[in-house]
């Protein structure tokens, strides 16, 4: 126990000795948490629409008015031919082209059916899907107006009709920030923990001080604990700062219990730090350990469900995410903050992450060899 005290004292001194490091560990996540959610906005509201109107009838005018009034679309151009509109798509200035054929109004009235064409830039699937769906909805509504005008019937009440009501729970204003802030905080916390610890032991290897420690009678797990605890505490400080930013800047207060978040984070940090330590027991230089940590982080973050839904991944990728601690943390922190999930609700995730923590730290202790 006494040995541990000295180890901790030393580690803390070293961390605090370099003010630039401590500043970065604490300030960088805060700045990023303030800025990034503002940018990570996927509320599909400003879909850029180019319209090619070959008809110029009162119907097309009404339809265009209806579209622009919806608030989802921003008209970037009314072109006279498709090529010009396509040019806007190439320059990324338009997302969707709506082409209304000549004689549209006449055809609709005379033949009771008339087509319109939509061309969607589908490189980004979400935007394409949502944009097309919105536009189709508006056109369908407009269609209803036209019918009413001609058929004079109140509500097609002689036909069976299913009324769909929708309710958006937990996030009725559909705020994307409510979704992103906890997620980004989870990633930032993970990065602080994993990167800092993965560098730490390797740094001692590179400088040579590890030899001096290895000839002392110090116990392996003391040494590892001494490396772990300071970053564990730092991680919890970063979490606290992050929660404050969420509250002050974004007005997000967890719907669920703060204790649940902290309990989970405490266990989760152990797993992440264990991973960092494990990396640093394998690497010989800081450069190596950085690369490995970066490689793992990139996979963990991009497959962590922060931006893209895990459900939509192919089965093999879903299996990989089962071993991705970051995915658990992102989903749990969102569940607690947004939906108010309780400790009981997240017990499965908590146990899994505790398992990771034991496994990774155990491996790191085993792999840290005092003797070659």
Range 20-49, binding other proteins (CB under 8 A): 20-21, 24-25, 28-29, 32, 35-36, 38-46, 48
**Part of the chain binding other proteins (CB under 8 A), chosen from 77-85, 128-136, 267-275, 351-359:** 128-136
How many other β-carbons are positioned within 10 Å of the β-carbon of residue 89? 18
How far apart are alpha carbons 290 and 283 in whole angstroms? 9
Q: 4 in helix, strand or coil?
A: helix
Kindly tell me which of 249 and 358 has the beta carbon lying closer to other proteins.
Answer: 249
Kindly give the interhelix angle for 258-282 and 347-367, rounded to the nearest 10 degrees. Answer: 30
The number of residues that bind other proteins (CB under 8 A) is 148
Annotate 254-268 with b (16+ C-beta within 10 A) or e (fewer): bebeeebbeebbebb
Tell me the two tokens of residue 55.
């008809």
Residue among 142, 262, 359, 363 that touches other proteins (CB under 8 A): 142
**Part of the chain binding other proteins (CB under 8 A), chosen from 50-58, 127-135, 234-242, 354-362:** 127-135
Q: How far is CA 343 from CA 50, 169, 171, 267, in A?
A: 50, 20, 21, 13
Range 208-267, binding other proteins (CB under 8 A): 208-209, 211-218
| Least distance from other proteins to the Cβ atom of residue 157, Å | 6
| Least distance from other proteins to the Cβ atom of residue 313, Å | 5
Element (H or E) spanning 148, and its range?
helix 125-151
| Least distance from other proteins to the Cβ atom of residue 335, Å | 5
Kindly tell me which of 291 and 358 has the beta carbon lying closer to other proteins.
Answer: 291
Range 284-343, binding other proteins (CB under 8 A): 284-288, 290-292, 294-295, 297-299, 301-303, 307-309, 311-314, 316-317, 320, 331, 334-335, 338-342
Range 65-124, binding other proteins (CB under 8 A): 89-92, 108-109, 112-124
Contact yes or no for 200/290 (Cβ under 8 A): no
What sign has the CA pseudo-torsion 123, 96, 168, 186? positive
Give the contact letters, 144-183, x = binds to other proteins (CB under 8 A), - = no: --xx--xx-----xxxxxxxxxxxxxxxx-xxx-xx----
Residue among 34, 75, 78, 128 that touches other proteins (CB under 8 A): 128
Tell me the two tokens of residue 119.
């061309």
């Amino acid at each position: 126990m006494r040995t541990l005290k000295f180890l901790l004292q030393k580690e803390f001194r070293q961390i605090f000795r370099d003010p630039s490091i401590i500043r970065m560990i604490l300030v960088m996540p805060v700045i990023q948490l303030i800025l990034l959610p503002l940018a990570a906005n996927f509320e599909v509201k400003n879909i850029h629409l180019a319209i090619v109107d070959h008809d110029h009838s009162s119907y097309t005018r009404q339809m265009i008015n209806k579209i622009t009034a919806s608030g989802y679309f921003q008209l970037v151009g009314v072109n006279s031919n498709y090529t010009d509109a396509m040019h806007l798509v190439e320059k990324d200035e338009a997302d969707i082209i709506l082409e209304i054929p000549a004689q549209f109004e006449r055809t609709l009235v005379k033949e009771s059916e008339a087509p319109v064409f939509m061309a969607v830039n589908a490189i980004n699937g979400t935007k394409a899907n949502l944009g097309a769906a919105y536009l189709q909805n508006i056109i369908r509504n407009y269609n209803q107006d036209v019918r009413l005008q001609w058929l004079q019937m109140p509500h097609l009440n002689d036909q069976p009709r299913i009324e769909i009501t929708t309710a958006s729970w937990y996030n009725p204003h559909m705020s994307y920030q409510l979704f992103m802030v906890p997620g980004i905080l989870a990633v930032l916390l993970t990065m602080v923990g994993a990167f800092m610890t993965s560098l730490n032991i390797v740094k001692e290897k590179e400088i040579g001080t590890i030899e001096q420690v290895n000839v002392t009678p110090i116990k392996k797990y003391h040494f590892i604990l001494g490396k772990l605890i300071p970053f564990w505490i730092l991680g919890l400080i970063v979490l606290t700062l992050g929660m404050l930013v969420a509250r002050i800047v974004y007005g997000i207060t967890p719907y669920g219990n703060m204790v649940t978040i902290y309990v989970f984070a405490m266990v989760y940090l152990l797993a992440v730090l264990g991973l960092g330590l494990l990396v640093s027991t394998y690497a010989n230089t800081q450069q190596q350990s950085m690369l490995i940590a970066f490689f793992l982080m990139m996979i963990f973050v991009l497959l962590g469900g922060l931006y893209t839904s895990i459900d939509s991944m192919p089965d093999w990728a879903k299996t990989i995410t089962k071993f991705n601690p970051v995915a658990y943390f992102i989903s749990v922190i969102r569940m607690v903050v947004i939906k108010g999930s309780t400790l009981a609700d997240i017990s499965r995730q908590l146990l899994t992450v505790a398992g990771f923590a034991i496994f990774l730290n155990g491996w790191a202790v085993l792999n840290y060899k005092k003797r070659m």
